[in-house]
Homo-oligomer: A and B are copies of this chain.
Amino acid sequence: MTVYGFSSSGNCHKVRLLLEQLGRRLDQDYRWVETDSSRGQTRTPEFLAKNPNGRVPIIELDDGRVLAESNAILCWLAEGSPYLPADAWQRAQALGWMFFEQYSHEPYVAVARFIRGWTPVDSPRRGAELSRCLERGHAAFAVMERHLSDNAWFTGPDYGIADIALFAYTDVAGEGGFDLTPYPAIRDWLARVRATPGFVAMPEPAAGAAALLARID
């Protein structure tokens, strides 16, 4: 199996994190083809032939079949494992959090980080759009904090794919300009995720993005 992904993308790191936690090893059980969406590598004719929506991550099986959308990939990889609840209601709750992540969280939490790290310092996006991302991102964190005040995990009684989906960009929210101090339950949950067996952190971004992310605005 081949993963096409951009190492600095939380959506892509989700796939690597689950693969590692499932005990699958890079270059033994799966290949990783680095595909830098910030430099147009998801808009080439070759890539668009695999995913017409022009986004990473995707997985490609050895027979050529392709699956897109990070959270759909998590569902497929986790089939039959403890990371996907066996109970239908609980599985639907996990899916609910994964749709929440893609609709109410990622478009703000991930995009704030993208604007800060991958757009020029004089980008117009650093104005009203970044402010809106911060406002909506905090609204998403408030919803998460409320859930975590009564629950250890998002997936169900145990850690799993909904936690992986929400962890990816929450763990690097500081790079987007978010202060997680007001969310003690989220900070405790982030620490619990980091302590799960087989956990791997997202690689550091390349130097240019890292310098931009480290700026104090």
A residues bordering B, Cβ < 8 Å? 52-53, 55, 65, 67-73, 75-76, 79, 88-89, 91-93, 95-96, 98-100, 102-104, 106-107, 142-143, 146-147
Are A103 and B103 in touch, CB under 8 angstroms? yes
> What residues on B are CB-neighbors of A68 within 8 Å?
96, 100
Q: Given the known A-B contacts A52-B143, A69-B99, A95-B71, are A107 and B104 also in contact in the complex, defined by CB atoms under 8 Å?
A: no
Min CB distance, A118 to chain B, in Å? 18
Assembly of this chain: how many copies? 2
Counting chain B CB atoms within 10 Å of each CB, which of A55, A96, A98 scores highest?
A96
**15 interchain pairs, CB-CB under 8 A:** A52-B146, A53-B100, A68-B96, A69-B95, A69-B96, A69-B99, A71-B99, A72-B93, A72-B96, A72-B99, A73-B96, A75-B92, A95-B95, A99-B102, A102-B102
18 more A-B contacts (CB under 8 A) besides A52-B142, A70-B99, A103-B103?
A: A52-B143, A53-B104, A67-B93, A69-B95, A69-B100, A71-B99, A72-B92, A72-B99, A73-B96, A75-B95, A76-B88, A76-B89, A76-B91, A79-B88, A95-B95, A99-B99, A99-B102, A107-B107
